[in-house]
């Protein structure tokens, strides 16, 4: 299953539309005013299904994940040289990126590829292609990409 993650051109806060391969909106992401990034994820019907909240005052970036109102874990950036790494503290996934921080692979505990993430270049807004092996992993894979994008935005 492929998802196209595309940031809206004109928006005061982080705002994204996530499309499937046929061009249908699958998820919508709206940023909310808060300390650190706070992103609300809605399904195609406009129902709030998940939240990603950046924790501030941490040594390395950390994002808490909520499905509905239930805390399910966090995404932490790991200390590393050259290749960015993230760990999910809810299901054992790990994320490693390329040196230029445009391409990422998401792995499960048994080192099976869960998803690949590729940033499309020469676009007016941030645009990523998320290729997810299993459709049921698409929401958590999207949350990983949102955390990576927010971390890069905060750093810059």
Distance separating alpha carbons of residues 5 and 20, to the nearest angstrom:
9
State percent of the chain over pLDDT 70: 93
Q: How confident is the model at residue 106 (pLDDT cuts 50, 70, 90)?
A: very high
Average pLDDT in the chain: 87
Instruction: Supply the DSSP string of 65-106, one letter for each residue.
Output: EEETTEEEEEEEEEP-SSS-EEEETTT--EEEE-TTSSEEEE
Taking the mean position of all CA atoms in its chain, how far away is CA 130? Answer: 10
Per the structure block, which two tokens stand in for 139?
A: 């929401």
Q: For 8-29, what is the mean pLDDT?
A: 83
Check residue 13 and give its pLDDT. 62
Residue position matching structure tokens 């539309």: 17
Q: What is the dihedral of CA 149, 72, 57, 53, to 10 degrees?
A: 50
Overall pTM surpassing 0.85 (yes/no): yes
Residue 62 has pLDDT above 80, yes or no: yes
Min mean pLDDT across 50-54, 77-81, 91-95, 115-119 is at 77-81
pLDDT band of 156, cuts 50, 70, 90: low
138 phi/psi in degrees, rounded to 5: -65, -40
Distance (Å, rounded) from C-alpha 26 to C-alpha 41?
Answer: 10
Q: What is the pLDDT of residue 111?
A: 93
Confidence of residue 81 (pLDDT cuts 50, 70, 90): confident
107 contacts 114 by C-beta, under 8 angstroms: yes
For 28, 100, 125, the CA distances from 122, given in Å and listed in that order, are: 23, 15, 9
Residue 84 pLDDT class (50, 70, 90 cuts): confident
């Amino acid at each position: 299953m492929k998802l196209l993650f595309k940031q809206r051109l004109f928006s005061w806060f982080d705002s994204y539309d996530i499309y499937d391969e046929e061009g249908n909106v699958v998820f919508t992401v709206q940023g909310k005013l808060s300390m650190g990034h706070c992103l609300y994820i809605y399904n195609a019907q406009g129902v709030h299904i998940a939240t990603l909240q950046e924790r501030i005052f941490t040594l390395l970036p950390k994002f808490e994940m909520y499905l509905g109102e239930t805390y399910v874990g966090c995404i932490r950036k790991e200390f590393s040289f050259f290749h960015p790494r993230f760990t999910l503290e809810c299901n054992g996934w790990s994320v490693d990126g390329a040196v230029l921080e445009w391409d990422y692979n998401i792995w499960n505990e048994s080192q099976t590829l869960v998803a690949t993430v590729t940033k499309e270049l020469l676009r007016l807004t941030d645009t990523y292609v998320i290729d997810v092996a299993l459709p049921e992993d698409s929401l958590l894979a999207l949350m990983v990409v949102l955390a990576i994008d927010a971390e890069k935005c905060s750093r810059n």
